Amino acid sequence: MSQPTTTDWRCVHVEGHACTIWQRGCHEQGNYLRVYVPDAAARAEQPLRVVLYLHGFALCMPSFYESHLLALAAEGYIVFFPDFQCSDYPSPAPGKPVPTWQEVPKAGPWTSKALRVAVRPQGAAGPEALGDLRRVVLSLLLIELILVVIGWFRRTYAKNLSHLLWTVARSLASSPKDWLAQALALVEAGWDDLAREPAYAHWRQAQPMVYGFGHSLGGLLSLSLPWALRDQPAARFRPRVIVVADPAAASEMGIPRFAIALLRLFGAPFTADPLRIQETGPQLCQPVAILHGADDDLVPPAQWVGPIDGGGTNFSAIASQTKAIYFSCSDPHASPPLCAFHNQAVTCTRFYDDALFEFFGGVKHGANAYNTAYIWPGALALFGEQVQPADLLGALPERPFAITTGEPPPPDGAECRTGGAPPPGAGGSRPRDPSR
């Protein structure tokens, strides 16, 4: 099947969730967009509620978050999922199975792939963009050499991390600020084009109620939406409320340090023009809730509530007067056990084998209590504007694990203790990053 163009929509109705999934573009060309439209959104009298759902670094496929995306659509939200990174992920039609990465055709050795990326840089225009991409390729080739050495001791980890970085190699020739602008552009164009469908013609004149959600790097981008729209007072997709899960406070967080150092050395735009909450937080005046995990090793809680140079914290950089941050605690004695770390907001990592995500934020084979009793109901309560962020805990239907509003104790403390790794599918195992 040929890849879709920017104007071709493919769709499928999902009976069990009373919604239609619309999709166009492809990950490789950097124009991928999937939209989950509830059946009720076809009725002119129905208020239009929209969620901008922004993914984590290199978690560009909706399959990583599918259960949550469908759950939001079942609650009546139109959910936009743009891939703001240019990536090598497959783009199967909605309703079709997603292949695993072992089943995706490979471009050959990484050196061959590097040459392919440098010579045919989709999305790059002009010599400056091509130069940026070649700087990225050079840095990634050095990273690949380091991973070869790491592979002598931890072969599976090195192989998987290498694949993950090369999958989004082209996107590193753009800055995270460009990614945010791309996400907004894809959503804006998608809304206008879907409004040409007869069933959604009433969207043309409607002003939707918009909410922001993001995970990891996507959490930082969601928190930065008001900053991106600061010069557009009439912007259609200015969020009313923002909820984020395990967000990064800066775009470099969560990436192995040696990789960041090499990308900086070569002047890759990803590191040369980073996105930081210190810059974007002063524009964020909407109600905001950060739902974090106490045992997050990729973005530790101290990155948000610990002191930073110049005084204050990253959390205090957010200007909103209606904000709250929460830390869920691990419970190894629950059935199934729960480890409150980085990728718990994800609902499935099956595209990769478990070896990568054991070390890169956590294995997930399905939604668990972190999703169904923390992230999902928290987002729904705040998007429904039923409660303020500071009162969120009282709105959660159940809390099968401890949640604290202050800086959590260390992972081996009395309240937040992993006590060992849960079995695959029950929340994954505690991440271990050899670069940290």
SS3 for the chain, per residue?
CCCCCCCCCEEEEEHHHCEEEEEECCCCCCCCEEEEEEHHHHCCCCCCEEEEEECCCCCCCHHHCHHHHHHHHHCCEEEEEECCCCCCCCCCCCCCCCCCCCCCCCCCCHHHHHHHHHHCCCCCCHHHHHHHHHHHHHHHHHHHHHHHHHHCCCHHHHHHHHHHHHHCHHHHHCCHHHHHHHHHHHHHHHHHHHCCCHHHHHHHHCCCEEEEEEECHHHHHHHCHHHHCCCCCCCCCCCCEEEEECCCCECCCCCCHHHHHHHHHCCCHHHHCCCEHHHHHHHCCCCEEEEEECCCCCCCCHHHHCCCCCCCCCHHHCCCCCEEEEEECCECCCCCCECCCHHHHCCCCCCCCHHHHHHCCCCCCCCCHHHHHHHHHHHHHHHCCCCCHHHHHHHCCCCCCCEECCCCCCCECCCCECCCCCCCCCCCCCCCCCCC
User: Mind listing the pLDDT tens digit for each residue in 144-154?
Assistant: 787 777 777 77
Question: What is the spatial distance between Cα 375 and Cα 147, in angstroms, rounded to a whole number?
Answer: 34
- How many domains is the chain built from? 1
pLDDT of residue 147: 75
| Residues 6 or more apart in contact with residue 154 via CB below 8 angstroms | 434
Residue 202 CB partners (closer than 8 Å, separation 6+): 44
- Domain-located, residue 152: yes
323-328: strand order across its sheet: 10-14, 19-24, 33-38, 77-82, 49-54, 209-215, 241-245, 288-293, 323-328, 403-404
Tell me, what's the pLDDT at 275? 96
Residue 344 lies in a domain: yes
What's the rounded Cα separation, in Å, for the pair 386 and 377? 12
Q: Flag whether 91 is in a domain.
A: yes
Selection from 370, 374, 367, 355 nearest residue 431 by Cα? 355
* Alpha carbon distance 33, 187 (integer Å): 8
Q: What's residue 357's pLDDT?
A: 82
For position 317, what pLDDT does the model report? 96
Residue whose token pair is 């869920």: 328
Q: What is the β-pairing status of strands 288-293 and 323-328? A: parallel
Burial (0-12, 13-18, 19+ Cβ within 10 Å), 380: middle
* Interatomic CA distance for residues 246 and 144, integer angstroms: 28
The least confident of 72-76, 127-131, 329-333, 353-357 is 127-131
β-partners of residue 405 are none
Instruction: Extract the tokens encoding 316.
Output: 């205090």
pLDDT at 404: 86
CA count, 13 A, side-chain hemisphere, 427: 27
Residue 346 pLDDT > 70, yes or no? yes
| One-letter identity of residue 24 | R
Decide if 51 is inside a domain: yes
CA-to-CA distance for 124 and 144, rounded, in angstroms?
23
Q: Confirm whether 126 is domain-assigned.
A: yes
CA proximity to 92, closest of 20, 183, 1: 1
pLDDT of residue 341: 86
**Residue 417 forms part of a structural domain:** no
pLDDT tens-digit map of 372-402 = 999 999 999 999 998 999 999 988 887 778 8
Residues with Cβ within 8 Å of residue 111, at least 6 apart in sequence: 141
Q: Does position 246 have pLDDT exceeding 60, yes or no?
A: yes
Residue 419 forms part of a structural domain: no
CATH of the domain at 40: 3.40.50.1820
Confidence check: pLDDT of 186 > 60: yes
- 7 token code pair: 């104007």
Name the pTM for this structure: 0.88
Q: For the chain, what is the mean pLDDT?
A: 83
Name residue 11's beta-bridge partners: 22
In contact, 296 and 246? CB cutoff 8 Å: yes
Six-digit token pair at 255? 């990436």
Range of the domain at 355: 10-404
Distance from C-alpha of 331 to C-alpha of 83, rounded to nearest angstrom:
33
Assess if residue 94 is contained within a domain: yes
pLDDT above 90 (res 193): yes
Which pair of tokens denotes residue 61?
């496929």
* Lowest mean per-residue pLDDT among 234-248, 302-316, 344-358: 344-358
